Structure 1
């Protein structure tokens, strides 16, 4: 049962991109760079979490993904970033609020579910509130990066 949940967190987001492609065939190409940056940042964050015992995964999809789990970092987080940017980019406050709500659902909902299903250890020193602060900070970085990527931030100093 646990493996089925983990596989669904990995595969269903990727399958959902079929629908996004039908809505806007350029959206995946447009938002993939920011999704890759989110993945890199999350991979580093998960390595820090492992080192400082913020949480540890007991159940993963593969033997080699104990530190940065495939089902979250390379599944729901990566694809979720694309969807959130698709619906909210260009409206910072909407982006911020949607991201905050999703972060709260993850921090208070899924982290509790992972502990109940014994996917993660019951311990860990990072509180849900601290997790939300970190994720909010990352969300702001991602938004700024994507504005730069889209050419909306002028870095030309010719004046």
Structure 2
């Protein structure tokens, strides 16, 4: 499609406009889990390219992972928002993630394919949904572990 670059740029930038609506405490608290998953997704993207799970005919720049706009835009900011409203309520967290991931898998992938951004190759939509579910659980587990370690370190540090 003719305006693919514009759509991808907007997809990357627009979620960041909601960042001021999150308070600093929320961003600081959930930044580790969100960053961990972004790094994981970058690694997964490299593997997915080699295994041909999906294909990006659109390239952001040479030698830059094509899914980077998805990772640094809607995924990163979306993770902060989902954590803000669901952290500590695992069932709600999973439910919200299933809804968001299903919208992505069954609607956004079709739109992205239409504009020439991405298409699934060796991964079915159900497999992608399961992969998203596993990653959601992994991100939540990382955040829980981080908070346990951080709170333990905070309790063991001397007061000033």
Category of TM-score, reference length = shorter chain = 0.7 to 0.9
Aligned to 1:82: 80
Q: 1-side partners of 2:150 and 2:49: how far apart? A: 35
Equivalent residue number for residue 138 of structure 1: 135
Partner of 1:55: 54
Q: How many residues align?
A: 150
Displacement of 1:106 in angstroms is: 0.9
In structure 2, the partner of 1:126 is 123
Q: Give the TM-score, by structure 1 length.
A: 0.86
State how far apart, in whole Å, the 2-side matches of 1:143 and 1:131 are. Answer: 18
> How far apart are residue 5 of structure 1 and its match?
1.1
CA distance in 1 between partners of 2:138 and 2:150 (Å): 13
- How far apart in 1 are the matches of 2:31 and 2:150? 19
1:3 corresponding residue in structure 2 = 5
What is the distance in 1 between the residues matched to 2:38 and 2:125? Answer: 20
Question: Higher relative contact order by CA 8 Å / sep ≥ 6: 1 or 2?
Answer: 2
- The normalised TM-score by structure 2 is 0.86
1:4-153 residue pairs with structure 2 within 5 A? Answer: 4-20=6-22, 24-65=23-64, 67-121=65-119, 124-151=121-148
Residues 153 and 63 of structure 1: is their aligned pair in 2 closer, same or farther, counting only changes over 3 Å? closer
8 Å Cα contact 2:56-2:66 kept in structure 1? no
What value does the CA root-mean-square deviation take over the aligned residues? Answer: 2.0
Gaps of 5+ in 1: none
SS in 2 for 1:131: helix
Which whole-Å CA distance do the structure 2 matches of 1:13 and 1:135 have between them? 20
Q: Map Cα deviations across residues 28-56 of structure 1 (whole Å, 9 max, x no partner).
A: 11111001111011111111110111111
Q: Name structure 2 gaps, 5 residues minimum.
A: 153-160
Q: CA deviation at 1:9?
A: 1.3
Query: How many Å separate the matches in 1 of 2:131 and 2:25?
Result: 30
Change (3 A) 1:60 1:83: farther
